Amino acid sequence: MHVLVIGAAGMVGRKLLDKIASQPGALGRDIEKLILVDVIKPDAPASLASISTSRAADLSEPGVAESLIASRPDLIFHLAAIVSGEAEADFEKGYKVNLDGTRQLFEAIRLESAKSPYKPRVVFASSIAVFGQPFPEKIGDEFFTTPLTSYGTQKAICELLLSDYSRRGFFDGIGIRLPTICIRPGKPNKAASGFFSNILREPLVGQVAVLPVDENVRHWFTSPRSAVGFFLHAANLDLEKVGDRRNLSMPGLSALVGEEIAALQRVAGEKAVRLIRREPDATIQKIVAGWATDFDTKRATALGFKAETAFDDIIKAHIEDELGGNI
């Protein structure tokens, strides 16, 4: 099998590759060729190096998508995007990267399939940002997408494109609406949701973290470990069971910021909690206020997607995966 990972240098991309490397057969078939692409050249796990080719490229630039699809990958993970805060701050860049790059990828597949039979599996990273207020108590599978941010709008348009290109038979696509991933490893990024991870990640290693919103803010979460599981499951799933509605809200955990902090105290103690500094930020507060807080994910759950059900488990997964099991 030939696999293409776009956005391979990002957090989810790196963890996905590590999982594939450590779990032979994770994609259901042996991988014969692996192409890794991002705006910076990705690194392949050592055990996959012999079958991997890495490339620095911007999917939104002319000709890039066509060059990637020319080798006809069987499975495509499309994880590339700029994050919510950056997409809101830079309107043109958000649409260029998040929408134009995706459209060019889909078009490249369509044009390749017109030459001779070709129908790859496309697994697309979408977001719960496709939903906007007013919300029901729980967002179900029938709730409409009315995003209130540019990032959410870009993802919602891509979801529609994915469904239509799949309906027309150009590829077999599935969109994975990710909850906010927490705890994200590494340094803070430009995502408006970044503080949800910051207030746990930094205190766990003895560093100060800033909380820009009230502790009564509720949100929808999953761990990096579960996010990788979503993409692997989507790659192996019989999409006939998904039907024509190809975009799925993933299972997760609805929790208050205060419940995050309480879980941190249970796992790491009061010393870690004291490192959180309250510094209200009106811009972030406004963005977060327009986000969904709880979901009923019956479709995804029935299809076998799984996530954590307690915040303590999310924190413990980070400690195991990123801190060697020690704090």
13-26 pLDDT, tens digit per residue, is 999 999 999 998 99
The average pLDDT across 106-124 equals: 98
- Looking at residue 176, its pLDDT comes to 98
Backbone angles phi, psi at 184, to 5 degrees: -75, 130
Active-site position among 95, 118, 151, 165: 151
Residues carrying CATH 3.90.25.10, the chain: 194-217+254-295+304-322
Taking alpha carbons only, the member of 70, 78, 145 closest to residue 111 is 70
Q: How confident is the model at residue 160 (pLDDT cuts 50, 70, 90)?
A: very high
* Digit-coded pLDDT (tens) for 283-315: 889 888 888 899 999 999 999 999 999 999 999
- Looking at residue 114, its pLDDT comes to 96
Tell which CATH classification among 3.30.1300.10, 2.60.120.330, 3.50.30.30, 3.40.50.720 matches the domain 2-179+223-251: 3.40.50.720
SS (H, E, C) 127-169: EHHHCCCCCCCCECCCCCCCCCCHHHHHHHHHHHHHHHHHHCC
- Looking at residue 193, its pLDDT comes to 86
Q: How confident is the model at residue 78 (pLDDT cuts 50, 70, 90)?
A: very high
Residues carrying CATH 3.40.50.720, the chain: 2-179+223-251
Please give the model's pTM, rounded to 2 decimal places. 0.95
Is residue 326's pLDDT more than 90? no
User: What is the CATH topology of the domain spanning 194-217+254-295+304-322?
Assistant: UDP-galactose 4-epimerase; domain 1 (3.90.25)
For the chain, give the percent of residues with pLDDT over 70: 100
Q: How confident is the model at residue 6 (pLDDT cuts 50, 70, 90)?
A: very high
- How far, in Å, CA of 222 to CA of 306, rounded? 10
Active site residue 165: no
* Digit-coded pLDDT (tens) for 184-239: 998 877 777 899 999 999 999 999 999 999 999 999 999 999 999 999 999 999 99
SS (H, E, C) the chain: CEEEEECCCCHHHHHHHHHHHHCCCCCCCCCCEEEEEECCCCCCCHHHHHHEEEEECCCCCCCHHHHHHCCCCCEEEECCCCCHHHHHHCHHHHHHHHHHHHHHHHHHHHHHHHHCCCCCEEEEEEEHHHCCCCCCCCECCCCCCCCCCHHHHHHHHHHHHHHHHHHCCCCEEEEEEECEECCCCCCCCCCCCHHHHHHHHHHHCCCCEEECCCCCCEEEEECHHHHHHHHHHHHHCCCCCCCCCCEEECCCEEEEHHHHHHHHHHHHCHHHHCCEEECCCHHHHHHHHCCCCCECCHHHHHCCCCCCCCHHHHHHHHHHHHCCCCC
Q: Ramachandran region of residue 130, left (φ > 0), alpha (ψ -120 to 50) or beta?
A: alpha
The average pLDDT across 96-107 equals: 98
